[in-house]
Homo-oligomer: A and B are copies of this chain.
């Protein structure tokens, strides 16, 4: 089977690099176009990228010539790691021109007909694409967003608890520096320090969480009717966003029932079969001091969410700790999983993925 050629927007940034790294041996997709700022355009990717991940960029991609932001693209599927402003300009245009854009940018996350997709939690939101295409008159084009990286561990942990009727959610985060991109957080600001502030993330966490946990009802998403409060902190960790969550569950389950909801959680068909989907999606860790950012962020190749320390909260009923890798599960990896779901569900024009591929890492 021939692989589907894909383009990476913002290919030289930290998340752009993560896309390229994760797609290195992807069974369905192959990086064919790399797009970056006009400053880099026209040069080989390997010469302009300051590779900030471990090791080095894949040899094949290093030889691709960087295209400018406004270049016409050949690839049907486009992954976007653009900053917000650039995303505003390009993503709609590309979708209108027939491309399927899977984006990490916050620009389009709250637009009514754009799914904020987290396949394990809300695979059915993908149906918004039909509405999107009809409303906008697009045939092959589409935009699918993924959420803020700190919302991911919250939504992954709460998705199986919807059956208990979630009423109130309080989140305090400890976020890795890679969430701010590169150069991002100056080292003088974070060595031996905590910054109790991450611009914009509290508001995103308080809204995107509810939209992702909502139900598709006819043509629109009904948000989860819960109240949320988020406090965001930056800590001296390379990768991995950890959240302390207190939650009010109206059904009042026993702690065991909650743990059981997590350990028995299975992503809906066909998500589990997708190459990038971790198995299991959730790890409930029995140790008293887990999850921990460094030791658990790579669970399920960085795509699984680790949960621990479930106990009673005197105020909201329940509290626990959750953790996801912020640039894999929380960014590039989620976009890739979204694209795999699109492929499987026939939204990538006539591209037909092979059946039994699983990502070998």
Contact = CB atoms under 8 A, between A and B. Distances in A.
A196 B291 contact: yes
A54 B298 contact: yes
A309 interface: yes
A289 B316 CA distance: 27
Given A185-B188, A229-B246, 10 more contacts: A53-B295, A183-B183, A184-B186, A187-B236, A192-B192, A192-B236, A194-B292, A197-B289, A227-B315, A235-B236
A352 interface: no
Contact of A296 (B55, B178, B292, B321): B55
A193 B193 CA distance: 13
A73 interface: no
B235 A197 contact: no
Interface in A26-57: 52-55
Interface residues of A, number: 59
Nearest to A198: B289
Nearest to A242: B194
Given A54-B298, A197-B288, A229 B192 contact: no
Interface in A182-234: 182-197, 206, 227-229, 231, 233
Contacts of A67: none
A313 B319 CA distance: 18
A192 B195 contact: no
A55 to B, nearest CB: 7
Interface of A: 14, 52-55, 168, 170, 172, 174, 177-178, 182-197, 206, 227-229, 231, 233, 235-238, 242, 244, 246, 288-296, 298-299, 308-309, 313-316, 319, 321
B191 A242 contact: no
A266 to B, nearest CB: 20
A332 to B, nearest CB: 15
Contacts of A14: 188
A206 B314 contact: yes
A228 B53 CA distance: 35
Contacts of A295: 53-55, 193
A229 B206 CA distance: 21
Given A170-B246, A186-B185, A238-B188, A294 B193 contact: yes
